[in-house]
């Protein structure tokens, strides 16, 4: 109903101003921030600091990359729905919804790791 109520013009406005600007930049910026926070909080821990820098970076990237990919996949799915809202069906809506849930579940992983690293770093002091 929401897609139909938007109409062609409303869908185009949302696509251009929201999905082609914010949703292209935000996942990359958030991912970069998460990687930086994992590295910064992790390097406060002796055991993490002792690991090679390449392994530290790879660890942070492996934790954040699934969220990034899920976020971009969700953005593509929603953009496809908005660009051709007349062909939207329950399966495509369900898929987009599942990607949204997946994105936030995957976002929780690096956030939890950052929190654990932060708390462990405070405990070591």
53-64: per-residue pLDDT in tens?
Answer: 999 999 999 999
pLDDT at 19: 64
Checking if the pLDDT of 93 tops 80, the result is yes
Q: What percent of the chain has pLDDT over 70?
A: 82
Neighbours of 120 (CB within 10 A): 15
Q: How many domains are there within the chain?
A: 1
**pTM for this structure?**
0.82
- Whether the CB-CB separation of 66 and 102 falls below 8 Å is answered with no
Q: Residue 79 belongs to what domain range?
A: 2-124
- Whether the CB-CB separation of 11 and 82 falls below 8 Å is answered with yes
Q: How many residues are given for the chain?
A: 125
Tell me the mean pLDDT in the region 93-104: 94
Please count the CA atoms within 13 angstroms of the CA of 38 that sit on its side-chain side.
25
Both tokens of residue 97? 């919804």
Give the whole-angstrom CA distance, residue 117 versus residue 53.
17
């Amino acid at each position: 109903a929401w897609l139909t109520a938007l109409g062609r013009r409303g869908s185009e406005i949302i696509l251009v101003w929201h999905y082609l600007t914010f949703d292209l930049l935000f996942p990359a910026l958030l991912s970069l921030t998460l990687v930086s926070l994992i590295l910064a909080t992790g390097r406060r821990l002796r055991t993490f600091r002792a690991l090679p820098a390449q392994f530290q970076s790879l660890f942070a990237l492996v934790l954040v990359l699934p969220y990034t990919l899920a976020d971009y996949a969700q953005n593509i799915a929603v953009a496809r729905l908005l660009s051709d809202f007349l062909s939207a069906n329950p399966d495509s809506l369900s898929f987009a919804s599942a990607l949204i849930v997946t994105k936030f579940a995957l976002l929780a992983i690096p956030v939890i790791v950052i929190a654990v690293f932060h708390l462990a770093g405070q405990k070591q002091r």
